[in-house]
Chains A and B, each alone.
Chain A
Amino acid sequence: MTDTILDVRGLSVDIATAGGVLHAVRDISLKVERGKTLCVVGESGCGKSMTSLAIMDLLPKGARRSAAALSFAGEDLSRAPGKRFNALRGNRMAMIFQEPMTALNPAYTIGDQLAEPYRLHRGASAAQARDRAVYLLDKVGIASPAERLGQYPHQLSGGLRQRVMIAMALMCEPELLIADEPTTALDVTIQAQILRLLADLQKEFGVAIMLITHDLGVVARIADRVAVMYAGQVVEEGPAAALFSDPRHPYTRGLLDCIPVPGRTARGGRLGAIPGVVPSLVGEVHGCSFRDRCPHARPVCAEDPPAREVDGHRWRCILEKAA
């Protein structure tokens, strides 16, 4: 058995728009190891959510996926029919979304929603599903879980709803959990609690996590590996420690300089900034997509930048290292 649960190679997502084809995700490759956490980080519009939806075969109408390989637990799904994904989704791969209020169905009780994937995929009886739901609600730190089963989503706070979402995702013991901004809508103290919970559950159940976020603070604290996305591409990818201590791509470096860190940045001092805006991804896109905003840009950046790699730390830039 391989240690890689998810191996994505050459993934692209194209969206047909009135103005032409929008290349939302452009030829990216990612790997998630069993029991480990890969964080995909980037700003709005960088393609990080489209990447996760493409992997789960949940892309909206009008968006088209193409991939050289999309292998889940050794099985290539790049040309698999929707039916195959239906059997896997909620079963061996599960997803948690940002806004638990819209992801939960307001018309069904927590108990019904928790039981559904378990009964569907495992053919469990109502009593078995109920037992498993109570067990997992308890695991995610919800007090008196048996009574919660009869409640509706609107009766729970945002933090509790997100805990229910996590319990639901774990019902069928998935091997891969994709979490798209799971704590962005939550208060900071609740965010810390939910992330800790995810990390504890990962240790206990050995589930691999692919976490999509815009928050480098979250990334630093939970990731084993990090992929930084910009304009539909992975511009840098590597082990979390190396990426934060020795960022190679000018965009990664720029992002880190933008964040005030108590005790590190001078209070009231100027923060780093990345001037300019993200380029349009409609039509043909050539060269380094960051070159218009990059302090190190030179004419050669109009051509595709070379892929570099040192000790499993990959980046795409003409430079060995952004000064």
Chain B
Amino acid sequence: MNALLTADALTRSFEVGQGMFRRRRTLHAVNGVSLDIRKGEVLAIVGESGCGKSTLARMLLGLLPPSAGAITLEGRNIRDLGHKTVARRVQPVFQDPYSSLNPRRTIASIVALPLEVHGVGTAEERRRKVLDILDRVGLPQRFADRYPRELSGGQRQRVAIARALVMNPEIVICDEPTSALDVSVQSQILNLLMDLQKELGLTYVFISHNLAVVEHIATRVAVMYLGRVVELADTDSLFRNPRHPYTQALLASVLTPEPGLGLPDTHLGVAFPDPLNPPPGCSFHPRCPRRFEPCDKVTPALLRDAGGENAVACHLYPPSPANASLPKTKN
């Protein structure tokens, strides 16, 4: 497969202070994550708050060095490539368009900034490029000389997308790009992202907690829980046949606008784990309705199906001789 960007046993830990007189403790935000991001796909990373999805995104962007493991862009470690080279090819769109745009700069100068940093073209050429890209993301050119405060949330998110695309990147990492928006605006931004992907041949890493949106836009899904990938599958398989009990609970929790279906029972316990002191074995076991003997002792490895691309980390699916552990996944 055509892996464009590869995360190899990525781990990131933070030292967390617990108050003046207490020992500092280590939080493993991302713990041994291996993923291939393939050309032209939309890889969704889903999970709840604190599962490490945004930390993973920042590492993939080269904004945060991993504590262990490596990220390679077409076979070359991004640490060696340098930040500018990575930034030319991998660009972000963040969640909150209210805080991700500099309030003192005009829209044109916000969108032109990557061009200036990379020394692309003359001022006149840059201006033309900016107007082109504004047009492409559906913003009237008259917005070029306005300020972010004059724009609505949806318009601001279009500016953030224009800024990400102005350098013609190959990969766009979207971290909850529609979570701060109203539904009528969310659908416009999702339509735009899908159109741009087709027109420009982009690859997306789409981070979200909204499963309905993920089902709509993604081609492949990685489900994270407490720093690890617990299930990885193509969108169709994942939604048709979720295997990890956590994935099953996540899907059951999607509230579609269908009255009469009532409220789902996720069968989950309320014991939410402390990420500073994760439970032994499978970190999901305290909430898992299907836990059995090995779950609180042995951490399940992310195992790929025999001959398949999909993988799950759960003792309910024991390795058979035909199953091979994903290479280089440390557990």
Contacts and interface: CB of A to CB of B under 8 A. Distances in A.
A195 B187 contact: no
What interface size band does chain B fall in? 35 or more
Nearest to A198: B263
A201 B213 CA distance: 31
A127 B254 CA distance: 42
B261 A271 contact: no
A262 B257 contact: no
Interface stretch (B55-63, B96-104, B245-253): B245-253
A79 B256 CA distance: 41
A262 B254 contact: yes
A191 B253 contact: yes
B239 to A, nearest CB: 6
Nearest to A189: B253
Interface stretch (A87-95, A169-177, A219-227, A299-307): A219-227
Contact of B268 (A189, A222, A271): A189
A163 B48 CA distance: 18
Interface string A123-167: 000000000000000000111000000000000011110010000
Contact of B48 (A188, A214, A271): A188
B263 A199 contact: yes
B255 A43 contact: no
Contacts of B216: 260, 262, 265, 267-269, 271
Contacts of A258: 183-184, 186-187
Interface in B199-258: 209-213, 215-217, 235, 239, 249-250, 252-258
Contacts of B184: 43, 254-255, 258, 273-274
Nearest to A272: B187
Interface residues of A, number: 56
A223 B257 CA distance: 11
Contacts of A218: 255
Contacts of B272: 157, 159-160, 190
Interface string B173-202: 000000000111011101100100000000
B119 interface: no
A207 B184 CA distance: 32
B329 interface: no
Given A44-B182, A260-B216, A262-B256, A221 B250 contact: no
A285 interface: no
A257 B269 CA distance: 34
Contacts of A188: 48, 209-211, 250, 253-254
Contact of A222 (B190, B215, B254, B263): B263
A187 B246 CA distance: 13
Contacts of B262: 221
A196 interface: yes
A143 B286 CA distance: 13
A58 interface: no
Contact of B255 (A221, A245, A264): A221
Given A43-B183, A219-B257, A240-B259, A260 B213 contact: yes
A273 B260 CA distance: 26
A191 B209 CA distance: 12
Nearest to B265: A196
B253 A192 contact: yes
4 interchain residue pairs of minimum CB distance: A217-B255, A187-B48, A260-B216, A258-B187
Given A191-B253, A192-B252, A262-B212, 17 more contacts: A43-B182, A44-B182, A141-B270, A143-B270, A188-B253, A189-B48, A189-B266, A217-B255, A221-B259, A223-B259, A244-B257, A245-B259, A255-B183, A260-B213, A262-B254, A263-B239, A267-B215
